[in-house]
Amino acid sequence: MKQKRTLLIVDDEENMRHMLQALVGRHGYTVETAVDGLDALSKIAHTHFDFILCDIKMPNMDGVSFLHKAGKDLQASTVIMMSAFGTVDMALEAIKAGAYDFISKPFKTDEVLLTLKKAEEREILRQENRLLKEQIQEIKTGEGFDKMVATSKVMLSLFTLARKVAPFNTTVLIIGESGTGKELVAKGIYAASSRNKQPFITVNCGSIPANLLESEFFGYVKGAFTGADKTRKGLLAEANGGTLFLDEIGELPSDMQVKLLRVLQEGEIKPIGANKTELIDVRILAATARNLEDAVRQRTFREDLFYRLNVLPITIPPLRERTEDIPLLAKHFMHKFNLAMERDVRSITPEAMDKLLAYHWPGNVRELENIIHRGVVLAEAESIGQEHLPPHLVPTTTMESLGQSFTGFSMKEAQKIMEAKIISRALQETKGNRLQATKLLEISYPSLLSKIKEYQIIVEVPAK
């Protein structure tokens, strides 16, 4: 049952109070009355009112004085002022003092009801806007497993394991392809841990130049080297008491692997140029898209560091191995972008969903998020159709594709056309990264360069 709206009538004229009480009472309001501003202050101190109808000219305390005196007690109430001596200046003064609207006496009953209806609509909009802002903020800053979306058994088991390990200081190695959500799992572990009020610092081990790694991780003291004009904390010291997330740990050079191993073993660091070590208390969460066991066999990753990190491994399966999560993830991202962009896209057509389910998802969940983002932007109605999906999700058949670009009979020429198309698609998939494209194409780097030159392939890399 809908809760009745509460309304306070403040007026020194008894007849006016009775008339208004009878009028608004018939339209679903629970009404109380006050004889002047002082009486009204006493009422709002003990009771919240959704709406207040308040006269301006009253003995003891007038309406504008009441507004000023009430202050914060009126923040959640909508105040409508009334007066038989209304002027523009008086109305402006009342609105500046916090009133929503102003009506002049004598007024028709419809005028009061219409003003109240407008005030109710305004309050509904305010509540919706407040909820919308809270939801957008929740999406932007949301952390923890409750913010992660999955329905597959493998992911639900993964969340259960991560929750079990979260309260302890155990080092965790998160393994998964790019775009599977390794950082989200790390943030979930952090949010469910006792360290969640302390810093959570993320560093991509492959993004920092090798000659800067030591100073970034360990910091330095003033005068330690040319340009060290002041003492600076490293990432490990900044994360003291909290959690340090080492993304792409497999990219860490061998000399830094030794230094990180010492941190894990001894719990201490030594800034560059310092004379003594410093004890630190940092939980290490690491992630990699590489097979570290292969890297250990190839002697590019230290075996002792691997075993220190691999205390409790968590492997995130690629999206293509848990396609039952795709509809739920797509709905989640659609809701997210609807809120962020004030859109109202409500569904994905069966044909478009079939394409999403059939796709192999080399970019995993991150790629799905980008595709739904695109769909929400392009959709002209309430549904994302296959026409709103990227072309590589709705390709023509091989024969159709070849027939559109080749009308001859030469097998050699047909092979060249197909090679050029596949190479272009691989380069688009990797955003122009030729080294990653060679892995998709399963050819050597020199061979790729040769074919790009031979076929005069130009790849437009999307702007960041």
pLDDT digits (tens, 9 = 90+) for 204-250: 998 888 888 999 999 999 988 888 889 999 999 999 999 999 999 99
Summarised one tens digit per residue, pLDDT across range 173-192 is 999 999 999 999 999 999 99
Higher per-residue pLDDT: 181 or 397: 181
Check: pTM over 0.85? Answer yes or no: no
Indicate the CATH number for domain 5-130: 3.40.50.2300
Lowest mean pLDDT of 262-276, 311-325, 384-398, name the range.
Answer: 384-398
Domain 398-455 has CATH 1.10.10: yes
- The answer to whether domain 320-393 and domain 398-455 are alike in fold is no
pLDDT (0 to 100) of residue 146: 57
The yes-or-no verdict on residue 1 having pLDDT over 50 is no
* Fold assignment, 145-317: Rossmann fold (3.40.50)
pLDDT (0 to 100) of residue 201: 94
Assigned token pair, 28: 């679903």
Could you please report the per-residue DSSP string of 299-323?
TSS-HHHHHHHTTEEEEPPPGGG-G
pLDDT (0 to 100) of residue 399: 45
Instruction: Return d(Cα 223, Cα 392) in angstroms, integer.
Output: 55
pLDDT (0 to 100) of residue 397: 45
Instruction: Return d(Cα 256, Cα 270) in angstroms, integer.
Output: 13
Higher per-residue pLDDT: 449 or 405: 449
pLDDT (0 to 100) of residue 200: 94
Assigned token pair, 269: 């660091």
Q: Binning pLDDT at 50, 70 and 90, where does residue 141 land? A: very low
98-113 CB burial, b ≥16 within 10 A, e <16: bbbbbbeeeeeeeebe
Q: Binning pLDDT at 50, 70 and 90, where does residue 398 land? A: very low
Q: Binning pLDDT at 50, 70 and 90, where does residue 94 land? A: confident
Identify each DSSP E strand in 228-371 by its residue range.
232-233, 243-247, 268-269, 278-279, 283-288, 312-315, 347-348
Summarised one tens digit per residue, pLDDT across range 316-340 is 999 999 999 999 899 999 988 998 8
Instruction: Return d(Cα 216, Cα 203) in angstroms, integer.
Output: 10
Where does residue 391 rank: exposed (0-12), middle (13-18), buried (19+ CB within 10 A)? exposed
pLDDT (0 to 100) of residue 463: 47
Q: Binning pLDDT at 50, 70 and 90, where does residue 444 land? A: confident
Domain boundaries, the chain: 5-130, 145-317, 320-393, 398-455
Average pLDDT over residues 434-453: 83
The yes-or-no verdict on residue 110 having pLDDT over 60 is yes
The yes-or-no verdict on residue 423 having pLDDT over 90 is no
Average pLDDT over residues 162-171: 92
Q: What single letter denotes the amino acid at residue 24?
A: V
Average pLDDT over residues 405-410: 58
The yes-or-no verdict on residue 405 having pLDDT over 80 is no
Where does residue 366 rank: exposed (0-12), middle (13-18), buried (19+ CB within 10 A)? middle
The yes-or-no verdict on residue 78 having pLDDT over 80 is yes
Lowest mean pLDDT of 309-313, 357-361, 446-450, name the range.
Answer: 446-450
* Fold assignment, 320-393: Helicase, Ruva Protein; domain 3 (1.10.8)
Instruction: Return d(Cα 244, Cα 145) in angstroms, integer.
Output: 18
Q: Binning pLDDT at 50, 70 and 90, where does residue 401 land? A: very low
Q: Binning pLDDT at 50, 70 and 90, where does residue 145 land? A: low
Cα 36 to its chain centre, rounded Å, is 49
Q: Binning pLDDT at 50, 70 and 90, where does residue 307 land? A: very high
Could you please report the per-residue DSSP string of 73-114?
GGTTSEEEEEETT--HHHHHHHHHTT-SEEEESS--HHHHHH
Answer whether the bond into residue 462 is a cis peptide, omega within 30°.
no
Average pLDDT over residues 58-83: 86
Average pLDDT over residues 345-349: 90
Could you please report the per-residue DSSP string of 185-243?
HHHHHHHTSTTTTS-EEEEETTTS-GGGHHHHHHEE-TTSSTT--S-EE-HHHHTTTSE
pLDDT (0 to 100) of residue 400: 45
